[in-house]
């Protein structure tokens, strides 16, 4: 569905030193499980590759993506506010 590459990464199938990428897409076969009595279905993947950690693939769903988007926004706002506070302190 979406692939974001770091810089001019030419081919994500071949690791390149210092390059990272993230991608998001639909799972061919959704995974459903029951945890603590609640059924949960994951039908989406988010993948993140970094040279230090390799490839990490998350099994998620649309609700997960929506809440993560709001949490990333909140974390970004707090990081910006903290940097601003550091630059304005005497």
Q: What are 25's two structure tokens?
A: 């897409």
For the whole model, what pTM was predicted?
0.74
Domain ranges of the chain: 2-88
Shortest CA distance to 12 belongs to which of 65, 59, 43, 51? 51
Report whether pLDDT(6) > 70: no
Residues 6+ apart with CB under 8 A from 12: 3, 5, 21, 23, 49
| pLDDT at position 70 | 96
Report whether pLDDT(34) > 70: yes
Percent of the chain with pLDDT over 70: 83
pLDDT digit string (tens) for 38-62?
A: 999 999 999 998 888 888 999 999 9
End-to-end CA distance of the chain: 47
């Amino acid at each position: 569905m979406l692939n974001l590459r770091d810089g001019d990464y030419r081919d994500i199938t071949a690791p390149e030193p210092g390059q990272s990428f993230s991608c998001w897409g639909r799972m061919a076969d959704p995974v459903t499980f029951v945890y603590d009595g609640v059924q949960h279905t994951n039908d989406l993947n988010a993948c993140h590759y970094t040279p230090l950690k390799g490839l990490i693939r998350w099994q998620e769903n649309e609700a997960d993506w929506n809440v993560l988007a709001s949490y990333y926004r909140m974390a970004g706002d707090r990081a910006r506010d903290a940097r601003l506070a550091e630059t304005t302190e005497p």
